[in-house]
């Protein structure tokens, strides 16, 4: 049996595009002699559709698309993910389903049993879990068909009370097929492969796995669809961060032998390279799927805006990314020169607009109220907000989308200005710690200097007061980021952090800053997710909570 894997970049609710891509892949698979072509979880609707699933019209369009796709399944079968309606009155109205299409109609269905309800997942909000398991018969083979999470509960500490594959094994299947929507983070490819290999080693069956690729606002899908041997290694994997299509002979997978000295997990990419490629895809898809073409950002001469600028230029084309240099009385000459040099290196358009006159005017306007009160964070924030006003005015007038350049370290501790440098349509680096921003800059420059070296080596500074450095207000980033990672990603408490060797007064101070800054993060643009715990939909904390604040 020849099985095709179709790794496609879907667009949530874009039924015409999704359906046409699926049909084109079916036609491609048929002409190449495939017997079966497999698509991802909720391929018809795109993932995650969220509360669109509460609209009857949305479900009707999904089912209509399935009917159109089924018409093309003649002489070939397809497995396609879609929401389906339940007939039962009790429980949720929908299943998350894998539909087996052949001879022009739906021949069988498998419904998702394990519905994740943690981190970025919220499937139990919409779907009813399924508790009946049947293999699918096709061309003399029995297929154990599962959906994403259904194969993940295989460790020693199970999250669920039932294991779909254990149930399906009672019917002696010949292969496993899993359709998935597995979002990217820089550790996910390894974790995903380890789960898949645990399944093939346990059940001694080949596994064909199809994942989404592409960005859905903050959620990034890396692809990496693959085929695994019953001997416990990755036979082949599709490309990362791009659409792909390949056909496999079942018998070849069953008899595959791992090359001597090979890695059972296959390709394992470098963390920074993965983040770089994921962010490029995230920017490109955010603009493309919303119909935008041009970006704008404030280019300060600092490393965050520099990295953001390069990523945007690589994603959209340098001619489509406009840099605006907005120096104040406190901006250093070398920062302005570094920003100019970067824009020129990229070949991007740029503008130089001083904010001194606007700041002096606003300062004069407020003088009767502020009187002799000393210069403080108020005047620092005024500068950041003046810059945001200029950038948003240009965005409105010229049709550019403003890129937010704040990093995760700043967002975590509130070292940013609400309605100032926190403005933007999408946050490019909001899930990248400052120390990793430096690594990204080095990665960008690996084949030659793009970002000026001075931007990378100079001490980070907001340049909102004389001789300001980030270290005046925060611990060194090498310490800060380690504490933030252990608290945010690893959920370590203050006692655990102190036991790890961090100073108690620094731990208490940093954790208080994180928790008291939640109101700021609640108002930020969507953050492209590249870590195991990003700010946004996957991290839900109360604004008025007292814990550690």
User: Six-digit token pair at 111?
Assistant: 């419904």
Rounded average pLDDT over 97-125? 97
Distance CA 26, CA 91 (A): 34
Query: Beta 233-237 vs 244-249: how paired, if at all?
Result: unpaired
Q: Are 293 and 249 contained in the same domain?
A: no
Q: Is residue 548 part of a domain?
A: no
Instruction: Write out pLDDT tens, residues 245-266.
Output: 999 999 999 999 998 888 999 9
* Domain endpoint, select from 412, 442, 471: 471
pLDDT at 332 over 80: no
pLDDT confidence tier of residue 350, bands split at 50, 70 and 90: very high
Largest CA distance in the chain: 87
* Domain endpoint, select from 237, 262, 287: 262
Which residues, 6+ apart, have CB-to-CB distance to 353 below 8 Å?
324, 325, 326, 390
Q: Is residue 549 part of a domain?
A: no
Q: Is residue 512 part of a domain?
A: no
Domain count, the chain: 2
Q: Are 392 and 291 contained in the same domain?
A: yes
* Domain endpoint, select from 262, 284, 312: 262
CATH assignment at residue 218: 3.60.110.10
Backbone phi, psi, residue 325, to 5°: -90, 125
Q: Is residue 524 part of a domain?
A: no
Q: Are 15 and 52 contained in the same domain?
A: yes
Q: Which pLDDT does position 334 carry in this prediction? A: 80
Rounded average pLDDT over 527-547? 95
Q: Are 208 and 347 contained in the same domain?
A: no
Q: Are 312 and 406 contained in the same domain?
A: yes
pLDDT at 1 over 80: yes
Distance CA 276, CA 269 (A): 11
pLDDT confidence tier of residue 333, bands split at 50, 70 and 90: confident
Specify whether the CB–CB gap between 528 and 431 falls below 8 A.
yes
Peptide bond connecting 48 to the previous residue in cis, omega within 30 degrees of 0: yes
Distance CA 206, CA 174 (A): 8
Average pLDDT value over all residues in the chain: 96
**Catalytic annotation, residues:** 41, 112, 148
Q: Are 234 and 292 contained in the same domain?
A: no
Rounded average pLDDT over 364-375? 96
Instruction: Write out pLDDT tens, residues 227-250.
Output: 999 999 999 999 999 999 999 999
Distance CA 334, CA 342 (A): 12
Rounded average pLDDT over 139-160? 95
Q: Are 91 and 115 contained in the same domain?
A: yes
Instruction: Write out pLDDT tens, residues 19-31.
Output: 999 999 999 999 9
Q: Are 35 and 181 contained in the same domain?
A: yes
Q: Is the dihedral of CA 360, 362, 363, 368 positive or negative?
A: positive
Q: Are 347 and 201 contained in the same domain?
A: no
pLDDT at 291 over 90: yes
pLDDT confidence tier of residue 156, bands split at 50, 70 and 90: confident
Q: Which pLDDT does position 462 carry in this prediction? A: 67
pLDDT, greater one: 462 or 297? 297
pLDDT confidence tier of residue 318, bands split at 50, 70 and 90: very high
Instruction: Write out pLDDT tens, residues 292-310.
Output: 999 999 999 999 999 999 9
Q: Residue 447: name the closest of 539, 294, 314, 283 by CA.
A: 314
Distance CA 188, CA 532 (A): 8
Q: Which pLDDT does position 468 carry in this prediction? A: 72
Q: Are 280 and 379 contained in the same domain?
A: yes
- Domain hosting 107: range is 2-262
Helix (H) or strand (E) holding 541: none
Distance CA 423, CA 324 (A): 14
Q: Are 299 and 241 contained in the same domain?
A: no
Q: Are 421 and 397 contained in the same domain?
A: yes
Instruction: Write out pLDDT tens, residues 412-460.
Output: 999 999 999 999 999 999 999 999 999 999 999 999 999 999 999 988 7
**155: which DSSP letter?**
S
Q: What share of the chain is helix, strand, coil (3-state, %, to 5)?
A: 40, 20, 40
pLDDT at 463 over 80: no
């Amino acid at each position: 049996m020849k099985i095709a894997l179709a790794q496609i970049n879907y667009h949530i609710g874009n039924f015409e595009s999704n359906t046409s891509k699926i049909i084109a892949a079916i036609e491609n698979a048929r002409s190449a002699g495939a017997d079966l072509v497999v698509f991802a979880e909720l391929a018809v609707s795109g993932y995650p559709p969220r509360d669109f699933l509460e609209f009857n019209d949305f479900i009707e369009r999904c089912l209509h698309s399935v009917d159109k796709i089924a018409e093309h399944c003649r002489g070939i079968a397809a497995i396609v993910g879609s929401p389906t309606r339940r007939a039962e009155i009790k429980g949720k109205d929908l299943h998350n389903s894998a539909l087996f299409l052949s001879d022009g109609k739906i021949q069988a269905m498998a419904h998702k049993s394990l519905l994740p309800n943690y981190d970025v997942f919220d499937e139990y909000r919409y779907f009813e879990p399924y508790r009946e398991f049947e293999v699918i018969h096709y061309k003399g083979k029995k297929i154990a068909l599962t959906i994403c999470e259904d194969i993940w509960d295989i460790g020693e500490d199970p999250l669920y009370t039932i294991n779909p594959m254990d149930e399906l094994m009672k019917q002696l299947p010949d292969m496993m097929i899993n359709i998935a929507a597995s979002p990217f983070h820089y550790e996910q490819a390894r974790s995903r492969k380890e789960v898949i290999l645990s399944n093939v080693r346990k059940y001694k069956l080949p596994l064909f796995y199809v994942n989404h690729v592409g960005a859905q606002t903050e959620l990034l899908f890396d692809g990496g669809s693959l085929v695994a041997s019953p001997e416990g290694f990755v036979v082949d994997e599709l490309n990362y961060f791009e659409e792909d299509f390949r056909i496999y002979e079942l018998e070849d997978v069953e008899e595959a032998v791992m090359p001597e000295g090979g890695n059972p997990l296959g390709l394992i990419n470098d963390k920074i390279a993965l983040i770089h490629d994921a962010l490029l895809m995230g920017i490109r898809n955010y603009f493309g799927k919303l119909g935008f073409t041009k970006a704008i950002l404030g280019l300060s001469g600092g490393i965050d805006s520099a990295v953001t600028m390069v990523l945007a230029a690589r994603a959209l084309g340098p001619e489509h990314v406009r840099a605006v240099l907005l120096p104040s009385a406190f901006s250093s000459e070398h920062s302005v020169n570094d920003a100019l040099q970067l824009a020129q290196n990229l070949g991007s358009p740029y503008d130089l607009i001083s904010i001194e006159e606007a700041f002096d005017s606003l300062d004069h306007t407020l003088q009767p109220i502020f009187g002799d009160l000393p210069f403080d964070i108020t005047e620092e924030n005024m500068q950041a907000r003046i810059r945001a006003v200029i950038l948003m005015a240009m965005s409105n007038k010229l049709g550019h989308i403003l890129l937010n350049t704040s990093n995760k370290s700043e967002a975590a501790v509130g070292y940013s200005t609400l309605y100032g440098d926190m403005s933007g349509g999408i946050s490019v680096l909001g899930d990248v710690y400052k120390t990793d921003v430096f690594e990204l800059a080095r990665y960008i420059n690996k084949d030659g200097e793009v970002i000026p070296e001075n931007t990378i080596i100079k001490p980070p500074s907001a340049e909102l007061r004389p001789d300001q450095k980030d270290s005046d207000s925060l611990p060194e980033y090498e310490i800060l980021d380690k504490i933030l990672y252990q608290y945010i990603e690893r959920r370590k408490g203050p006692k655990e952090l102190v036991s790890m060797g961090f100073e108690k007064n620094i731990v208490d101070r940093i954790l208080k800053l994180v928790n008291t800054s939640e109101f700021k993060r609640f108002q930020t643009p969507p953050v492209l997710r590249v870590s195991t715990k990003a700010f946004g939909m996957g991290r839900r904390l109360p604004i008025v909570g007292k814990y550690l604040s």
